[in-house]
Amino acid sequence: MGGRSKDQQNVSAWRPRVPGVVEVFHAHYTEYAYPMHVHDAWTLLIVDDGAVRYDLDRHEHGTPHDTVSLLPPHVPHNGSPATPDGFRKRVLYLDASRLGDELIGPAVDAPDLRDPVLRRRVGQLHAALALPGDELEAESRLTLIGDRLHAHLGSGAGAPGARRDPVLARRLRELLDERVVPGIGLEEAAALVPAHPAHLVRAFSGAYGIAPHQYLMSRRVDRARRLLLAGGSPAEVAGATGFYDQAHLTRHFKRLVGVTPGRYRASGART
């Protein structure tokens, strides 16, 4: 969507390796206004600075900072800055595997959702999508977001209500233990167990007090610690323990251990 105005435009877009996500789009516009247009995917929008005003189905809407906006596919809409300095937004385009056509009508009637929990979860999902290697986390967060959107739109198509299921949680833990290095996607895990993805995440988190992606990263970091103390370089260890690259290892290792893999390895050499 190119602009004809002389305003500042800063955009980035990519397609992550997460089922159901067609595109991630981040943009900062100061003056640019979108003309009426449609998408063939769902548009899940949060605005970090400023605000956007838009028309959807001939009704005017807006996106204050605490709002999550969900625009359905095939319904014309536009968009323009509602504040003098423009707006900065983050958008996810989702296919019908995440949100079905039965939700289009309710989304047209109420596209702007004021839900602090949903807003925080969408921001966390964007953070997980920003760097490769955290696809299980992104899938988990997206599944719970979809479940919450179904609840907002009054659909019974989401996951069943949360309930304890220790047997299901143990089966997922065993599956994660078998796949520490190669990893596993949430949809694949849900098919193997089997269970609804959102229920699977809730059951595991309720049983163990940690999300599936956090458990998997903890297991990988534990393996990395052993290999680093055995003399492996951070780059070698990253590849051997299932991390996307050395930067991916460093990010999670420092978060869980408090130091970088290089410093951890050096400390072992001195003892």
What backbone phi and psi angles, to 5 degrees, belong to 37? -160, 175
pLDDT at 71: 95
pLDDT at 4: 41
Residue identified by tokens 């299932």 is 242
| Residue whose C-alpha is closest to residue 197's, from 163, 146, 155 | 146
Going residue by residue through the chain, which has 271 residues, state the pLDDT in tens, using 9 for 90 and above.
334 445 567 899 999 999 999 999 999 998 888 898 899 999 999 999 998 889 887 778 877 778 999 999 999 999 988 888 889 999 999 999 899 899 999 999 999 999 999 999 999 999 999 989 999 999 999 999 999 999 999 865 454 455 678 999 999 999 999 999 999 999 999 999 999 999 999 999 999 999 999 999 999 999 999 999 999 999 999 999 999 999 999 999 999 999 999 999 998 765 4
pLDDT at 3: 41
Residue pair 79/34 in contact (Cβ under 8 Å)? The answer is: yes
SS (H, E, C) 54-110: EEECCEEEECCCCEEEEECCCCCEEEEECCCCCEEEEEEEECCCCCCHHHHHHHHHC
For residue 193, which amino acid is it?
V
pLDDT at 121: 96
In DSSP notation, 229-265 reads HTT--HHHHHHHTT-SSHHHHHHHHHHHHSS-HHHHH
What tokens does 214 get?
A: 């956090």
CA 52 to centroid of chain Cα atoms: 22
pLDDT at 146: 94
| Residue whose C-alpha is closest to residue 137's, from 204, 70, 47, 90 | 204
For the chain, state the CA radius of gyration.
Answer: 21
